[in-house]
Amino acid sequence: MSGGVDSSVAGHLLREDGHEVVGVFMRQGEPAAGPQAADTCRVAPHAVNEPPRGGRGCCGAADAEDARRVADALDIPFYALDFQPQFARIVDYFVDEYARGRTPNPCIVCNRWLKFGKLFDYADSVHAEFVATGHYAQCLTHQDGTRWLCRGLDPEKDQSYALFGIDRRRLPRILLPVGAFEKTRIRALASRLDLPVAEKRDSQDVCFVAPGQHAQLVRHRRGDISTAGNLVTVDGNIVGRHDGIERFTVGQRKKLGVAMGEPYFVVRVDPATCDVTIGRREDLARQQLTADSTNWLAPPPEHGFRCLAQIRYNSLPVAAQARPLPGERLEVVFDEPTYGVAPGQAVVCYDGERVLGGGWIE
């Protein structure tokens, strides 16, 4: 229970289905000092004198209190678990990826390591049969008895992309109650139940850093290491300077620090030279990609296969041909050029609504 409307209604739906529900809040950080204390969290053990952080996340003191109030309203037991050391690893991953010129996705990592990883240890300790969350995705039982991870019913809220990394063996024990509903129905149900979070805004930002401040976090954690370099065009012309590659991600259009007279985008980030290459939209076009550290929620493929490939959380899936490569790697060739393929993000392969699996874009 994150203190949001989705996991709150999920608790109600589970009770309606006859489950004995235990509410759990994952305490991922320590309350920050100062006026933002109610809405921010800090991560041990590197939290001393860090820059202001927070935003519309899901791990602050106010969220914990919201979750506790909902548990009281649902008349279920509630526990807050200390996941600070594990969550510190996610922040380290986030910082390291930006320093490598890549675009991290901490939500996927959190889902794999914590929400559908470490949380199962606690479930086992209290002899719980299932772990349930408020994600907009569906765990469905196929006619042959296998469990499939599928898209949520609401296409605007579908979160199946961010769940590709979970262990396939966990699927029989995962429940995703809100995935079969549209978000408007979930909010309406929360209002009808008079839940205290019925009108609470959705969390849309990385929970451990305020919007627009990820570069400050990276610099603080990296110390005096400079990643400043040149802004160059795709044909090699130097058109400006920047103060750090952590400010940029492939596909970025705004805040490039240089006026080109027409829209330009980040095409490539080179951590070796600290050059940031910019170009027109057509320079972003990619016909294929490779990915590593693949994870499969269906039987791992032995040969090439057709799929719908999604390269970002908020991007549309596109038709592609994929094939496994040695060393838990994957090649994806798109039917049509695709824009904004970013190293560090995930490519997730679908068969219709079913998540087959994916990997981390190289």
Return the active site residues. 110, 207
| Sign of the Cα pseudo-torsion (287, 293, 298, 299, in order) | positive
Contact present, 137 and 268 (Cβ < 8 Å): no
Contact present, 214 and 247 (Cβ < 8 Å): no
Residue among 233, 271, 225 nearest 249 (CA): 271
Contact present, 228 and 244 (Cβ < 8 Å): yes
Q: Name the DSSP class of 42.
A: B
Q: Which helix (H) or strand (E) covers residue 221, if one does?
A: helix 214-222
d(CA 64, CA 187): 20
Q: Alpha-carbon Rg of the chain, whole angstroms?
A: 21
DSSP 301-351: PSS-EEEEEE-STTSPPEEEEEEEETTTEEEEEEEEEEE---BTBEEEEEE
Going across the sheet that includes 275-279, the strands are 238-242, 229-233, 275-279, 265-270
d(CA 147, CA 171): 6
Checking 210-215 for CB contacts under 8 A at 24+ apart, the result is 210/40, 210/52, 210/53, 210/54, 210/55, 211/55, 213/51, 213/52, 213/53, 214/94, 214/98, 214/246, 215/98, 215/244, 215/246, 215/247
d(CA 191, CA 202): 15
Number of neighbouring beta carbons within 10 Å of residue 272: 8
Q: Name the DSSP class of 187.
A: H
